[in-house]
A and B are shown apart, each in its own frame.
Chain A
C-alpha cells in the first residue's frame, strides 16, 4: 500500500503538513459512517476498513520517522529487523552518555538550566541526523537508501530519548 498515492501526493520526505491534514479530512468524509447508514453491511464494512487505512496513512505520513520508513519500504530498501540488535559502539556510547546526562539533570544545582541544556543538545543532535537522512532520501540510490536506513535506526534512539525528556520535564516542573 502506497500511502502517498492514497493521499495523491508524490513520494517525498518533504510533505506539506497543512495540505496533508486537509486531504485527511476530505478523505475521511468520503467514508464517514453517516454516508453508509443505508448501505449494505458489506459496503459499511469496506468503508470502515478504508477509514482505518486512511488513518494509518495519515499517521505514517505525518510523523517524519514513520514517513521515512515508508519511503524506504516503497523503494525496496532492506530495512533490518526491528528486533535485531544494533551494535554501532561509538553511537551507543554516545547514547549512553546522553541518557546519563538526562539522569543527572535532577541533581544539578540549577535544574532548569541543566534541563534546558540537555533538551537543546538532544534537539540539535536529532535535527542534524534528520537533515543527513533527508539528504540521503533525496539522493534516492541504493547506497544512499542503505545509509538512510542506518540513520533511521539511529533516529529511533533519539525518539526514545525525546520521550524521556518529556517525562523528565513532567516530573521536574509539574506543580
Chain B
C-alpha cells in the first residue's frame, strides 16, 4: 500500500516526539490503543491556566499512518484552547493525510487521544 507524501513526511520527520511529566497538574495525558492492530498512542498536552494548549508531545507505537496522525495532531492542537482541540475530527486528519479507508482507524485513534487527554486534564482539575 502506498502512503501519501504527507504521511511519509510525518513518519520520517515526526514532530514533537517525546514525553512530559504526567504528574504535572498542567499536563494532560491521553492514552489510547487499537486492539485490531495493537497500536498504542500517548498524547500529552501542556495547558496554560486559561485553557490554551502551549505544547504537545506524542509517542506512538504503530504503523506509519498512526505515527503521522498523532504527529499531525500535535501540530494542530498547539495554540488552540482545549475546547477547540476537542472539536478536531478524525475526518479532518484523514483528509489532510490522504489516508486510505483501511487506515481511517489511525485517525480515529488520534482523535480519541485528544479526547482522552482533555478528559485527563478535567479530572486533574477536579
A contact residues around B105 at 8 Å (CB): 83
A92 near B33: Cβ-Cβ < 8 Å: yes
Q: Which chain B residues lie closer than 8 Å to A83 at the CB level?
A: 34, 36, 105, 108
Sorting the interface of chain A by its residue count into under 10, 10 to 19, 20 to 34 or 35 or more gives 20 to 34
User: With the chains together, A83 CA to B112 CA distance in Å?
Assistant: 12
Chain B residues with a Cβ under 8 A of chain A: 29, 31-40, 42, 59, 61, 105, 108-109, 112, 116, 120
List 29 A-B residue pairs with CB atoms under 8 Å apart, sorted by A's residue number: A82-B35, A83-B36, A83-B105, A83-B108, A85-B112, A86-B35, A87-B31, A87-B112, A89-B29, A89-B31, A89-B116, A89-B120, A92-B31, A92-B40, A93-B31, A95-B40, A95-B61, A96-B40, A96-B42, A96-B59, A99-B40, A99-B61, A156-B38, A157-B35, A157-B40, A160-B37, A160-B38, A160-B39, A161-B38
Interface centre among A85, A89, A160 (most CB of B within 10 A): A85
Residue of A nearest to B110 (CB): A85
Q: Quick check: B108 and A85 within 8 Å, CB to CB?
A: yes
Q: How far is the CA of A127 from the CA of B60 in the complex (A)?
A: 25
Complex CA distance for A85 and B119, rounded to whole angstroms: 15
Residues of A at under 8 Å CB distance from B?
A: 82-83, 85-87, 89, 91-93, 95-96, 99, 153-154, 156-157, 159-161, 163
